[in-house]
Chains A and B, each alone.
Chain A
Amino acid sequence: MASLISCPHCGTRPKEEFLIRGDATPVRPAPMAAEEAWHDYAHLRANPRGRIREHWQHVAGCRRWLVVERDNFTHEVFGVTDAAKAGEGAR
C-alpha cells in the first residue's frame, strides 16, 4: 500500500488520512443506457496488477475527492489529481 499520498491541496500526508473508494476508470452510462451497460458499470470491476487509477477522499484533510494513480505492485504513486479536475480532462 502506498503509504504517503501528496494531496494537491494539503501536501504529503499519510494514507490513514484518506478513505479509498475504488476504481476511478468506469464511466457512468447515460441515464437511459441499456441495462447491460448499467450492470457493467455498477458491478463489474477488473482486478489488474500494476498501474491503476483510484478514487481517494482526503477525509481528515481538505475532504476533497482525489484521483490517485499508483502501482498496486510496486507501491509507486505516479500522480494525484482533484477529482473535479480529473473529470474535466475526461470530458
Chain B
Amino acid sequence: MAYEYQAVHALDGTIGAIAEQRTNHLSVHRMTAVAMVLAAPGQTAEAAGILVSNGEFEARFSGPGEWLVLSEVHAPETLAAELSVRLGDFAFVVDQSHGRVVLTLSGRDAARILANGIAVDLHADAFPIGRAANVLCSHLSVNLARTGNESFDLVVMRSFAEALVDDLKVMARSHDLSVDFATR
C-alpha cells in the first residue's frame, strides 16, 4: 500500500503572516540541513580539522567531540551523507534535519532578550561571534550560537520548538519582537 507523506514544519499554523518586522525579529528556518557529528574515540582533533567551516557548512560546538553541523547549501537529504564521506572513520554522523528546528534571533535587544532566560554571559567579549554552546533556555536545552553582534542562532529539538518560541515571546515582552518563517 502506498502512502502520501507531507512535510509539515513543527511551527506551521502557530506563527507567521506578520505585517512587518519589528526592531527584534525571530526568524524560523524552514529547511536548514542539520547533522549531529560525534568523533570516534580519540579522533576529536582529526574530526574537528575536517569540520572547519568552509562556507558549505558550519559546525557548532555541542560537547567534547560532538558538533551540530548546519548547512544552507546542502539539502537535508544529502548533508549527512556528504559529511560521512569527508569524515570517514573519524566520526559518526546522524541526520537531524527533521529532528531539530533552527531559529535566528536578531535585533538591537537580542542579547537582552536571551538574558531573560539564559544564564550565560552573552557580552560580546565573553560570547564572541562564532562561539556556540548548549545552554539552558528557561527549561529547554538549546544550542546557542552567536552569528553577529546582534544576532544569535538557536537550534532546538523539534517537539520543543513551539514551547521555545512561546518562551522567547515571554522573554521579549518588554522588547519589540516579531516572529515569522524565514524567506529564503
Contacts and interface: CB of A to CB of B under 8 A. Distances in A.
Interface of A: 9-14, 16-17, 59-64, 82
Interface residues of B, number: 12
Nearest to A18: B136
B120 interface: yes
B141 interface: yes
Contacts of B63: 9, 61-64
Contact of B133 (A11, A63, A64): A11
Interface of B: 62-64, 66, 119-121, 133-136, 141
Given A11-B133, A17-B136, A60 B141 contact: yes
18 contacts: A9-B63, A11-B120, A12-B120, A14-B136, A16-B119, A17-B119, A17-B135, A59-B141, A60-B135, A60-B136, A61-B134, A61-B135, A61-B141, A62-B66, A63-B63, A63-B134, A64-B63, A82-B64
A62 B38 CA distance: 12
